[in-house]
Amino acid sequence: MTDCTYCGCPVEAHDPIFVSETPDGEPTAQFCNYGCLSAHIDAADLTTGTACEWSPSQ
Ligand SMILES: [Zn+2]
């Protein structure tokens, strides 16, 4: 059983998304769905200071 990185629920009960932050492709995080993935990104401030910056005003 694999728990959601954000909410801790078993991801198998939903439509799981696996995220890899390593070059060898081993999953390092998993989420129930895009809602948990998005919430985790917001909570962890992962959109701040990344190399691929996105700005709607430019
Ligand atoms: Zn979740």
What is the CA angle 48-54-56, rounded to 5? 120
Task: Give rounded-to-5 percent helix, strand, coil for the chain.
Answer: 25, 15, 60
Tens of pLDDT along the chain (58 residues) come to 789 999 999 998 878 999 887 888 888 899 999 999 999 888 877 666 655 555 666 5
Ligand 1: centre distance to CA 42 (Å): 14
As to burial, measured by CB atoms within 10 angstroms (0-12 exposed, 13-18 middle, 19+ buried), residue 13 is exposed
Q: Which pLDDT belongs to residue 43? A: 85
Which residue ranges make up each domain of the chain?
Answer: 11-44
Q: What is the Å distance from ligand 1's center to 16 Cα? A: 9
Specify the pLDDT at position 41. Answer: 85
pLDDT of residue 5: 92
pLDDT given at position 14: 78
Query: Cα of 28 to ligand 1 centre, how many Å?
Result: 15
pLDDT of residue 22: 81
Residue 17 alpha carbon to ligand 1 centre in Å: 10
